[in-house]
Structure formats: C-alpha cells, structure tokens
Amino acid sequence: MMIAVYGIEAQLNPIKARLSNIIQATLTQVIGLPEDKRAQRSRLKNIMNLL
C-alpha cells in the first residue's frame, strides 16, 4: 500500500512531518501496518510551477 500526498509546497512543508505521523498512526491502527514501514510519499509542487 502506498499513500501519495499531493499539495502546494509552501502550505504543506510546515506540516509535512506532523501529517506523515498522523497518516502513519492511522494506517498502523486501522489496517495493522507495521510502525516501522512508512507508506506515504510527498508530491509537493511550487504553485508558480503550476501556472
């Protein structure tokens, strides 16, 4: 299982670590994913690159 997080870099960078921990804790509690297995990747983009 892989979770991809897409968003605007300037908005997600300040909360990236906390968001990753929340996703990890949820996957661990709900589906029993081992705590040491991270299943998410960040796909952050600078909004100026999207315009």
Question: Does residue 4 carry a pLDDT above 60?
Answer: yes
Of 42, 40, 24, residue with least CA distance to 32:
24
Q: Where are the domains of the chain?
A: 3-50
Least confident segment among 4-8, 27-31, 40-44: 40-44
- 44 φψ region: left (φ > 0), alpha (ψ -120 to 50), beta (else): beta
Q: What is the pTM of this model?
A: 0.66
With cut-offs at 50, 70 and 90, classify the pLDDT of residue 41: low
Helix (H) / strand (E) element for 10: namely helix 9-12
Q: What average pLDDT does this structure show over 31-36?
A: 83
The two three-digit tokens of residue 29, written as one number: 């509690």
With cut-offs at 50, 70 and 90, classify the pLDDT of residue 43: low
